[in-house]
Amino acid sequence: MTVSKTAEKSSGKSADPAKGRKDATEVQSEALQLGELSEQLGYVLKRAQLKVFENFLRCMASLQLTPAQFSVLLLVEKNPGRNQTEIASTLGILRPNFVAMLDNLESRDLCARIRSTNDRRSHILVLTDKGKAVLARAKKLVATKHEARLNELLGQANREALLAMLSKIASEF
Amino acid sequence: MTVSKTAEKSSGKSADPAKGRKDATEVQSEALQLGELSEQLGYVLKRAQLKVFENFLRCMASLQLTPAQFSVLLLVEKNPGRNQTEIASTLGILRPNFVAMLDNLESRDLCARIRSTNDRRSHILVLTDKGKAVLARAKKLVATKHEARLNELLGQANREALLAMLSKIASEF
DNA sequence: TATTGTTATACTCTATAACTATA
DNA sequence: TATAGTTATAGAGTATAACAATA
């Protein structure tokens, strides 16, 4: 909501921004003060999330998997035989929006919809062999490029503490 | 990307989900296993961010301010006299998208665009008196309802550690 | 020629209602 | 009657190109 994906350099329109000013009302034309914004958890959380997703996409460029697609593959692998409603709702994806997502994954032969014999309204979801292979490669990329970078930045212990706090917020806030 | 704003209850379609099964292939029809998903920082980060924004909106319902609008008011208050480009780019908002946002805030008499005398292309942004008053009330709501809730959940020290780590990710990742 | 604010536009993500086929 | 998957659609949020006024 607050933040977009592109950063932009600040201008600094005058030739010598450090020199004398015309009058006292003119502010110094350099970086703005974030002020209380840098203490707003929501603001920092959003900016951090965008950075993490951006990095995830870069790490996954060769496999063309978005964070959402990766989460679907992971969940289907862990819970084979569940239907669309169960997978979607666990991920917080609304069923209507899940249809196009699955169409995409299925068209790439990463997962398959199988009509359930128990309840012929349901589509059971499973990973294809290719889906399993791609997911295995994706996990490796995430571990060696994405998570490794985070561990490097924060340290293993801090990364785990961060995850624990975010989980608490996600489940209890 | 991964997560929507509404949660949904899982079904549990059979009358007695704990009792005997038809055959060994049928899975237990209760909660799904998140598996590695709960270790994915991006996934947890996104879900936490949605919860925090949701709570922010609830706390701000009386003032009808979104996180993005709050961030604009905060930044304009801290940096009066800056133009649209400077405020927008600092927040990561693209200039074209900032126009409608400002139209909204200006129509509610919370901030004003003033044609700069130095550079008549620029619109200098300032908070109106009403804007200052509303922002003051917003800050109070955020402190007493929103941040207080977070401190209650995490503890003051943890909340600060969380903020520090997220800031590091936002700026260095 | 370059920049500011703006318009137009498009694409993604999210959300709701309603249809169909099954139960 | 209710549920699963689907379609259609609408609204945010985000992205790019291009224009008028001004520098």
Mutation choice for B interface testing from A47, A66, A172 by most B CBs within 10 A? A47
Contact (Cβ atoms closer than 8 angstroms) between residue B99 and residue B121: no
Burial A131-155 (b: 16+ CB within 10 A, else e): bbebbeebbebbeeebbeebeeebe
Residues in contact with strand C, defined as Cβ under 7 Å from any of its atoms: A 11, 13, 66, 68, 93-94, 96-97, 119-121; B 1-6, 83-85, 95-96, 98-99, 102, 113, 119, 121-123
| Amino acid letter for position A121 | R
Hey, how many other C-beta atoms are within 10 angstroms of the C-beta on B83?
18
The CA–C1' separation of B50 and C20, in angstroms, is: 34
Mean pLDDT of chain B: 87
**CB proximity list for A163: less than 8 A, separation 6 or greater:** B39, B41, B44
Distance from the A103 Cα atom to the nearest Cα atom in chain B, whole angstroms? 16
**Distance between terminal CA atoms of chain A?**
19
- Percent helix, strand and coil across chain B, each rounded to 5? 55, 5, 35
User: Binning pLDDT at 50, 70 and 90, where does residue B28 land?
Assistant: very low
Q: What is the pLDDT of residues A89-133, one digit of tens each?
A: 999 999 999 999 999 999 999 999 999 999 999 999 999 999 999
A6 and B165: CB-CB below 8 Å?
no
Q: What is the pLDDT of residues B106-125, one digit of tens each?
A: 999 999 999 999 999 999 99
Please state whether strand D lies within 7 Å of residue A120 at its CB atom.
no
- Tell me the residue ranges of DSSP E strands in A10-169: 111-115, 123-127
The domain spans of chain A are 58-172
**CB proximity list for A90: less than 8 A, separation 6 or greater:** A75, B10, B32, B34
CATH level 3 topology of B68-172: Arc Repressor Mutant, subunit A (1.10.10)
Q: How far apart are CA A110 and CA A135, in angstroms?
A: 9
Q: Which nucleotide is nearest to A13 (CA to C1')?
A: C3
For B25, the token pair is: 């292939």
pLDDT at A29: 66
Q: How far apart are CA B165 and CA B69, in angstroms?
A: 25
Give CA angle at A14 (A13, A17), nearest 5°.
Answer: 110
Contact (Cβ atoms closer than 8 angstroms) between residue A38 and residue B167: yes
Counting as low any pLDDT under 70, the low residues of chain A are 1-29
Helix axes B41-59, B67-78, angle to 10 degrees: 80
pLDDT at A32: 97
For A33, the token pair is: 């003060």
CATH level 3 topology of A58-172: Arc Repressor Mutant, subunit A (1.10.10)
Hey, how many other C-beta atoms are within 10 angstroms of the C-beta on A48?
27
- The closest alpha carbon to B170, from A38, A142, A173, A168, belongs to A38
For A24, the token pair is: 């006292």
How large is the average pLDDT for residues B46-60?
A: 98
The CA–C1' separation of A25 and D18, in angstroms, is: 35
Burial B54-82 (b: 16+ CB within 10 A, else e): ebbbebbeeeebbbbbbbbbbbbbebeeb
pLDDT at A20: 31
Burial B113-135 (b: 16+ CB within 10 A, else e): beeeeeeeebbbbebeeebbebb
SS in 3 state form for B39-92? HCHHHHHHHHHHHHHHHHHHHCCCCCCCHHHHHHHHHHHHCCCCEHHHHHHHCC
How large is the average pLDDT for residues B88-95?
A: 98
pLDDT above 70: residue B25: no
pLDDT at B30: 77
Q: How far apart are CA A72 and CA A105, in angstroms?
A: 9
Q: B153 by DSSP, 3-state: which? A: helix
Contact (Cβ atoms closer than 8 angstroms) between residue A173 and residue B52: yes
Among the partner-chain residues B40, B68, B86, the one whose CB lies closest to the CB of A32 is B86
Burial B32-43 (b: 16+ CB within 10 A, else e): bebebbeebbbb
